Amino acid sequence: MMVIRNGVLVARGIAEKRDVAVENGRIAAIAAPGTLSGGETLDADGLYLSHGFIDTHVHGGDGYDFMDATEEAWHGASALHLRHGTTAMVPTTLAAGTEELLAAFAVYARCKPGFPDGAKLLGLHVEGPYLAPEQSGAQDPAYIRNPDPAEYEALFAACPDILRWTTAPELPGADRMGDWLSERGAVPCIGHSSATYDQVRSAMLHGYRHVTHLYSATSTIVRRSGFRHAGIIESAYLLEGLTSEVIADGCHLPGCLLEMAYRFIGPDRLCLITDAMRAAGRESGESVLGSLEKGQRVILEDGVAKLPDRSAFAGSICTADRLVRNMVQLAGASLPDAVKMITETPARILGLADRTGFVAVGRPADLVLFDENVNVRTVLTDGSVRWSAGA
C-alpha cells in the first residue's frame, strides 16, 4: 500500500485536505490527514490532488498525429499528454478516406492495451467525414461527404470501440446514423454543422446529445427573409438534454466566452477538450494537421495552430493542464468546477462514469498532483507513478 499524504483533494465539487491510500492499483481509503498508516509514503507537500484529466477530443501531440497510423505516433502523443496530467484520452480521427480511417483504427486496436508512460486509451472519436462543407474549418473539404450506411457500419464493425462520432445532423441520412450509433452505445455528436435550433431539437430525437467544440464550426443566429433563426450555439445554452465541450486554450475562445459557457451551461453539462494536433507542446514553426502523408500544412503562432492563410485555426497546441488553468484564471471557474469539467463530466457524457472520472474508494488510482497554477508535478495511473517533474 502507498499513502499520498499532505495533499488537497479536489473531487466531487470540493477541495479539502485528505490523505489517500492506494493498494493494488485502486483507491483503498480516503481519510483526514494523519489518520492512515502503513506502506510507502508519497508526500504531496501541499499540492492539489485530483483524478487524472480525461481528454475526449485529441488528435495528437509531440510531433505525432493519430492519423499517422503508427504505433510510434500513438505512443508519442499519449506520452506527451500524460506528462501534462491526462491519464485517459479518446484519440480522434479527421475526415479522410475509408482506407486511411481503417488504418488508424487498426493501430488503435494494437495500442488499446496502452503504454506504461502514456495516457489510457478509452476508445475512439470519429470526427467526420460527414460534415457540412461550409463548416469544414480545418478539415480537408476533399474528404467531406454525406452519411453512407454501408461505410459507417463497416467502420464501426472494424472498431466497435468507437465512443463518439461527430456529424452534421442536417445532412441527408444523419437521423438514421444517429439512431444506429445510439443503439450500439456510441454518442452521436453535433459538430462542423450549420444546423438550426429546430434541426438540433429534431436531431436529439435521434440520439444526438453532445456538441463538438462549441463556437468552433458551429452555427449561430442567422436572418432569412428578415426572420432570425437560432443555431447550435443557442441550442447548447437552452436545451437541458444537450451537453457541450469547449477548447479552453484561450485562443479558440476568449475568456468572456469561456466564462459565459461556464456560468450558463455549467460544469455538469460542459467539458473541456484540447482538440490538440501534432504540434501540441510546441509554440512556433510549422506543422501538419492530419497524417504526414495526406495532411494539411499549418503554422504555429499566437499560441495556436492556423491554416497558412490565417483564415481559421487548425486545432490547438495546448495540453489539459492549460485548460484547467484558463478556466480558473480567464473564466472565473472555481478549481473544483474546472477539474470536474475535465474529469467527472466528460466521463459521464461518454457513459464511462462507472469506471473513471472521480476519486472514490475502489476506483482505479489514476491521479494527478499539481500546484496552485496547475503545473503538473506527478502523474499516476493504476496506482503507479508514471511521471514526476522531479524525476
Q: Is 309 a catalytic residue?
A: no
Nearest 5 degrees, angle CA 375-CA 377-CA 383? 135
For residue 113, the tally of other CB atoms under 10 A from its CB is: 8
Q: Are 370 and 357 in contact (CB under 8 A)?
A: no
Taking each continuous run of H as one helix and of E as one strand, the counts in the chain are 10, 24
Catalytic residue among 65, 275, 321, 366: 275
Torsion from C-alpha of 246, 248, 251, 256, nearest 10 degrees: 80
Strand ranges (E), 12-161: 14-23, 26-31, 40-43, 48-51, 53-58, 60-61, 64-65, 86-93, 120-121, 124-127
| Cα-Cα-Cα-Cα dihedral sign, residues 65, 86, 336, 243 | positive
Q: Are 349 and 187 in contact (CB under 8 A)?
A: yes
CA distance 155 to 158: 5
Q: 3-class DSSP state for residue 89?
A: strand
Contacts of 309 (CB under 8 A, 6+ apart): none
Q: 3-class DSSP state for residue 37?
A: coil
Q: Specify the residue for cell string 472498431.
A: 159
Cell numbers representing residue 309 in the block: 492563410
Burial class (CB in 10 A: 0-12, 13-18, 19+), 38: exposed
Annotated catalytic sites, by residue? Answer: 275
